[in-house]
Structure 1
């Protein structure tokens, strides 16, 4: 008989304030997941991670009774489990106070029915800001599904397969900034300018010029620096500020789905200037307003649109 040593594992419980809409959170993340890197199945979020040089897998799901998420960390990264509480709480927006947000947004007749329909809606974050920005550039002017296809090609071409990994859906490591900057992305299905934008961005992160995933970095400066990069416009910066920089008041400017949704709910608001004036009422929670509008479109059309 061979004796097997189970890999180390640790678990964490992360509290949140009710209401908390885990199903819609996972639906949004799952629809935009990097195939092979992260997966959403049966109400469970999984991904392979690296923390302080140690590999591992995280698995996240709601507690059966308490108002908490339960995180299981497997592999060598389990010894850093306590350090993972902060980034995971940010990723799943656990610090939000849904009642305070609802009080503000429900005052507007455009948003009130949407907030009532999904009172626990949060702004889904990302494990890696770098990965999210790459996906956001890739997703410019293509469908959510089309962006996922190209992301999968990037992972296969520039990422690293983790040998002996227990979950096929998360058996790949997303490329590091340096790996992506140097990768051959020829014929990957993106226009040349967009490939250049991805690789310029990756190079800026690799060199330390853009400290995107550095705790305590100046988020306003990061947004200015991102906006100055070729191929990155105000929409991309607003979306990244929502999901990676965790700005609760970020707004993806000129998002077509949001503009159409606002005009549909209030036909007097057809011009961008009128819409912009209306969104001022939603401060300091415009990121949540965007999520509610996107969610309303998803419910109405049965399709994942926006973001």
Structure 2
């Protein structure tokens, strides 16, 4: 099935696909010739989806999924994942009051905030990324998918598994994959929390960050990252993030403290998450 998902231009697909390519989990995601493909699972049914640039201000989607009744849910998830409903003009007018952000906005006027297909998957990525590099975290995620994911029969090369189910992860010995035992317990606890509260990662709900912070092993950085990319809180902002501090050092010649960044970011509310994406992306360009 082919679909077109429209958006209000501009849209920086190169930045979006580059972000996803750098974090693609082996067996579950690929980015080939600018087209992002991944395995998906809803209500125990599995399939695949591919997304790439289309014509007339739209992303082109190729969907292979046997249950057509969940098409509205798939479309809603894709629109959130690719940030297709963002009011860029409103965010940009506000953030452009900061001269540095004004320059970054002029360079990347169509930049969006990448979302996530699934809340549990995104939470696992965030926890796996604590205190290690993106590459190391993605490697661990690939091992997790290969060990505990559900095998998938797909015609798309490289897509062999879907992300593991929460009931499997809640009882698994995840530390055996090569991570600290405490982190393995945190991951299993997150999976159990989702089983206990199926709305844990539901976007745009009040109190989402507070519910995340109540979980064992989930600190402010992780909660804010999940809030930005899954709960779709555009004010989600991991203040002490090393990448944000490094970006400001490269762009302005001085590395701020986490406290200084937090104070400066107050003026960016309620779009601190979009500001963070601008800063992260500036590093990926090598500025």
TM-score tier after normalising by the smaller chain length: over 0.9
Structure 2 counterpart of 1:96, from 79, 86, 89 = 86
CA distance in 2, matches of 1:48, 1:79: 18
In 2, Cα distance between the equivalents of 1:74 and 1:124? Answer: 22
Q: Give 1:11's match in structure 2, choosing from 2, 6, 16.
A: 2
Deviation at 1:215, TM superposition (A): 6.0
Give 1:239's aligned residue.
225
Residue number among 236, 241, 245 corresponding to 1:259 in the alignment: 245
Look up the match of 2:183. 194
Distance 2:115 2:100 in 1: 25
- After superposition, give the CA deviation of every residue in 1:225-253 in whole Å (9 maximum; x if it has no partner): 21122221101111111100001111012
Q: What residue number does 2:120 align with?
A: 130
Q: TM-score, normalised to structure 2's length?
A: 0.93
- The answer to whether the 8 A contact 2:203-2:230 is kept is no
- Residue 186 of structure 1 deviates from its aligned partner by 4.1
State whether structure 2 residue 170 is matched by structure 1 residue 181: yes
Paired residue for 1:280? 266
3-state SS of paired residue (2:228): helix
Unaligned runs of 5+ residues in structure 1 are 1-9, 302-307
The answer for the alignment partner of 2:52 in structure 1 is 61
- Separation in 2, partners of 1:89, 1:233: 28
Alignment length (residue pairs): 287
How far apart, in 2, do the equivalents of 1:11 and 1:204 lie?
A: 36
C-alpha distance in 1, partners of 2:200/2:113? 18
8 Å CA contact 2:234–2:272 kept in 1: the answer is yes
- C-alpha distance in structure 1 between counterparts of 2:186 and 2:94, whole Å: 37
**253 and 275 in structure 1: CA distance in 2 versus 1, 3 angstrom threshold:** closer
- Larger-Rg structure: 1
Q: 2:135 aligns with which of 140, 145, 151?
A: 145
Partners of 2:78 and 2:124 lie apart in 1 by: 20
- For the residue of structure 1 that corresponds to 2:62, the secondary structure is strand
Q: 1:153-232, aligned counterparts within 5 Å?
A: 153-162=143-152, 164-208=153-197, 211-214=199-202, 218-220=205-207, 222-232=208-218
Over aligned residue pairs, what C-alpha RMSD do you find? 1.9
Q: Secondary structure at the match of 2:31?
A: strand
**Runs of 4+ residues over 3 Å off in structure 1:** 77-80, 213-216, 263-269
Structure 2 distance, partners of 1:269, 1:148, is 27
User: Is contact 1:104-1:282 (8 Å) kept?
Assistant: yes
Q: Which runs of 5+ in 2 are unaligned?
A: none
